[in-house]
Structure 1
Amino acid sequence: MPYMFEDRTGRITGSDYDDIYDRMFIRVVPHPRSPARSDNVLAIYNMGRRSTRHGDTRHLERQPSVVLEFAEGAAGGLGNISFFYPPAPSMTMPMNRYLRKATFFGGSLSRKFRASDGREYRWEHQSADGHEWSCISEENYLVAHYELRQPHMPAYGVSGNTLTIHESYCHLSIDIMASLLIMRYIAEHNL
């Protein structure tokens, strides 16, 4: 069964992503050690259980799985991504090296990345009906997709924003989340 994460806010800069079957809970928040809790430095945490209240600070007791440091200043742009997957050592690299354009002359909304399983995957923007973002494997299998609720659509007790990660790829949930956030940042800032 796929992981179906409800994105509670739909914002890149902070949200809880809760699997509707309570199997995994991911939190994306400004990194607690960033200057003035800047929205340019985001931390991704595997929370272990659902957050029940707005002021939940359990993530402060944990090591983030990934930290995204977007470049600041007038130029904007991409910065660095840092991975903290145990038992592997920590690793930092430029985002534009981690998430590369799928083709040399291709648009910036189609990019590929190498996940922790050593394989390449690519994100495409609005390439499939109903999907804001689609993640595709090297063999052209659909790995994950993200949908934002349209403003005119009603929401009944849920946000309507959904990240679905297909069963064979659930072990890549943190990789998929990190790369999706970068892709959404690229789209939002026209990079």
Structure 2
Amino acid sequence: MINRTLPYFLEDRTGAYTGSDFDDIYDRLFLRVARPTNQSPGAGDTLMVYNVGRRSSAQRESRPPARAPSVVLEFGAGGTLGKISFAGSSVSMPMGQYLRKTSMFGGSLSRKFRGLDGEEYRWTYKGQEGQEWSCTDSRDYLVAHYNLKPPNKPVFGTSGNILTIYEAHARMSAEILASLTIMRHIAALGL
């Protein structure tokens, strides 16, 4: 089923899961995925998801915001799945435990997770027509979806990459983006 309320349309400025800004086209929400500035070479990769709230599109900066991240993703050496930690709570666990395959013999691009709200969610790759990534809840309601702009499609003044989060789940936006970032990492590295 499709949720009919006004969703958050977050433009992914770069299309790279390793770092980008996600701006709602109606300026209601702004998220950022960034690496820490002091990350040491040779260590596993760390990505931080920030919920910056709102901002004017004129205030683009490449530096991480001067606030604590909402979610920290620590990948292991060689891109292996590491640990996910949620700021403001004591929840920290291995990514493989957080995002589990939906079936024992299923592919790694269909995974489920229990959100901080206690609800179970599922990400699937190309599971719904017209959506590269789809996130549904346990009742099969569409929660969010993500699409990269096809390389042959022209865009005018935007990147064409969009993360859509339905309004009822906006409070989970940082967690949705963090779980999507892990899913895109799994897909990129073939884990």
Fold shared per TM-score above 0.5: yes
The one of 32, 43, 63 equivalent to 1:57 is 63
1:26 matched residue in structure 2: 31
- What amino acid is the match of 2:163? L
Aligned to 2:20: 15
Specify the alignment match of 2:53 in structure 1: 48
Say which is worse superposed, 146-155 or 36-45, in terms of deviation. Answer: 36-45
Distance in 1 (CA, whole Å) between partners of 2:83 and 2:168 is: 28
Q: Which has the higher contact order (CA 8 A, sep 6+)?
A: 2
8 Å Cα contact 2:23/2:31 also seen in 1: yes
Secondary structure class of the residue paired with 2:185 = helix
1:87-98 matches, cutoff 5 A: 89-98=89-98
**So what's the TM-score if we normalise by structure 2?**
0.91
| 4+ residue runs over 4 A deviation | 36-39
RMSD over aligned CA atoms reads 1.8
Q: Kindly indicate whether the alpha-carbon contact (under 8 Å) linking 1:13 and 1:39 is maintained by their aligned counterparts in 2.
A: no
Distance in 2, matches of 1:167 and 1:22, equals: 14
Moved more, 124-133 or 46-55: 46-55
Cα shift at 1:57: 3.1
Q: How do 1:134-149 and structure 2 match up within 5 A?
A: 134-149=134-149
- In structure 1, list runs of 5 or more residues that go unmatched: none
Tell me if the contact between 1:18 and 1:24 (Cα under 8 Å) persists in the aligned partners. yes
- Decide whether the 8 Å contact of 1:66 with 1:178 is kept in 2: yes
Partner SS state of residue 27, structure 1: strand
Task: Check conservation: 2:43, 2:77, Cα contact below 8 A.
Answer: no
Deviation at 1:55, TM superposition (A): 3.7
2:166 corresponds to: 166
Of 122-131 and 48-57, deviating more is 48-57
Identity %, equivalent residues: 54
Give the paired residue count: 185
Segments of 5+ residues of structure 2 without an aligned counterpart are 1-5
Paired with 1:158 and 1:104, the residues of 2 have a C-alpha distance of 40
Closer, same or farther: CA 95–8 of 1 in aligned 2, 3 Å:
same
